Amino acid sequence: MIDKNINNASLGKSLILAAVDLDEAIAELLKLEIKRIKKLTKEASFLEEVHKTHILVRYIIMALIMTDEKINTGMILCNDEDQNKN
């Protein structure tokens, strides 16, 4: 049983670290796309490009939600170890 707990804790920690790294990259991408939207609004015919970028921003936000779920799962795995120790 201890082996399983160590593996769960290790897996949970790895999952959290991977999700945090991915969050950082996704946040940077979101920042760039928001800047792009601001730049596009200064152009005469910007609506179509803003629409495409807006769709990408939605996907980025969904990816952030998915990484949040990975962090939650990682915390659950780590907490399982703590509960099994007691």
What mean pLDDT comes out for the span 43-53? 85
Q: What pLDDT digit, counting tens, does each position of 1-45 carry?
A: 455 556 888 899 999 999 999 999 999 999 999 998 888 888 877
Per-residue pLDDT at 12: 92
Task: Say if residue 83's pLDDT is above 80.
Answer: no
d(C-alpha 78, C-alpha 83), whole Å: 9
d(C-alpha 73, C-alpha 84), whole Å: 17
Which two tokens mark 59? 């996907």
Segments making up each domain of the chain, as ranges: 2-85
**Which pTM does this prediction carry?**
0.73
Task: Say if residue 82's pLDDT is above 80.
Answer: no
